Amino acid sequence: MKHNNTFRLNRFLGLIGTGIYKRKNSKTLTFTIWVGILFLFVLLNQLISNLEFDSARIVVTRVYQISYIVFLSVPVFRLTFNEQMSIQWNLLPASAFEKNLYSVLGMLIWRSLLFFIVVLGLDYLLWSGSPFIESMGMEMGQCRIRLTEFFTFGITDTIMPRWVSYVLVFFFYTSIPILAGISNNTSLHREYAFTYAWSAYIIFSTFINYCFKGGKEYEYLVIVFGCAGIIGLIYNIIFSITRSCNTKA
């Protein structure tokens, strides 16, 4: 029993770690360009400092949210086990559930960590002491954006407890790529499906933002999609365990 649990833990750690490897021929240039784009976002942050306080904050938050999503989807970093390795991926001693869920989870975690370190770090380093910070009433050393605001499009404390909103929005953010990732037969298309899903998501969320501008209707939409996301996620987890699949070997 004890040995079994250690084995399970090792598989979990091993699969989480598969989210991190660099794709071959991903030039340092591409990475630099990406960092440069983020830098531009940070610059944009400064340029809009003469807007009204609340609008500025919302726009800044949206910009960071969108760049986060872009980062998650851009295949600069590729999973270790890509289509060239689908046979090796299938041979790896882990259940389909473990492989799909943990590797995508791992990728989300690693990329998110990287994003926060780079973006927020950059932001803090470059712009501490700017008039914009002062106008927001924040002190030096504080995060420029409050992380709570980063993760939500709007919280409705009157409808439900705060934690429910958090959970729903978390699923909203994560369900689409997991949906796209798990529903494919092999890891062959996972990376691309992931990217397409996220691109669609970016477009959709931007559209929603501008239409509803954080109004009540938008928040209901968030709740609906959050539930759909949960259902989709559960369905795909079950599906990936029970499906019968053959590998083109």
Partner 1 sequence: MIEVKDLSIGYSIPGNTPQIFTHSDDYDSSEIVLRGLSLKIESGKVYGLIGRNGVGKTTLLNCISGLIWKNSEKKVFIDGMPFSNGNPNLSSRIFYVTDTTPPIHVRVDKYARKLSMFYPLFSMDCFNECVELFGLNYKEYIDNLSLGQKKMAFLSFAFASNASHIILDEPTNGLDITSMRTLRKLIASNMTDDKTIIISTHHINEISSLLDHIIILNNKNAVFDHSVLEAGRVLSFVESDKETDKEKALYSMSSAYGNRMILPNTSGIDSEIDYELLYEAVLDDSNRINSLFK
In whole angstroms, how close is the CB of 106 to partner 1 at the nearest point?
12
Q: Is 7 helix (H, G, I), strand (E, B) or coil?
A: helix
Q: Which of 7, 53, 204, 207 binds partner 1 (CB under 8 A)?
A: 7
Q: Which is nearer to partner 1, 181 or 226 (CB)?
A: 181
Q: Does 148 bind partner 1 (CB under 8 A)?
A: no
Q: Would you give the end-to-end CA distance of the chain in angstroms?
A: 34
Q: Which of 1, 2, 3, 129 binds partner 1 (CB under 8 A)?
A: 3
In whole angstroms, how close is the CB of 90 to partner 1 at the nearest point?
6
Q: Does 18 bind partner 1 (CB under 8 A)?
A: yes
Q: Does 10 bind partner 1 (CB under 8 A)?
A: yes
Q: Which residues contact 85 (CB under 8 A, 6 or more apart)?
A: 187
Q: Which is nearer to partner 1, 10 or 148 (CB)?
A: 10
Q: Which is nearer to partner 1, 158 or 246 (CB)?
A: 246
- Which amino acid does the sequence have at 120? L
Q: Which is nearer to partner 1, 6 or 55 (CB)?
A: 6
Q: How many residues bind partner 1 (CB under 8 A)?
A: 36
Q: Which is nearer to partner 1, 22 or 162 (CB)?
A: 22
Q: Please, how many CA atoms are within 13 Å of residue 41, restricted to the half-sphere of its CB?
A: 24
Q: Which of 91, 147, 224, 231 binds partner 1 (CB under 8 A)?
A: 91
Q: Does 242 bind partner 1 (CB under 8 A)?
A: yes
Q: Which residues contact 139 (CB under 8 A, 6 or more apart)?
A: 133
Q: Which of 66, 94, 108, 202 binds partner 1 (CB under 8 A)?
A: 94
- Diameter over CA atoms, the chain: 62
Q: Does 6 bind partner 1 (CB under 8 A)?
A: yes
Q: Which stretch binds partner 1 (CB under 8 A): 5-13, 153-161, 192-200, 230-238?
A: 5-13
- SS3 per residue for 88-150: HHHHCCCCHHHHHHHHHHHHHHHHHHHHHHHHHHHHHHHHCCCHHHHHCCCCCCCCCCCHHHH
Distances (CA, A) of 13 to 78, 96, 116, 174: 18, 15, 22, 20
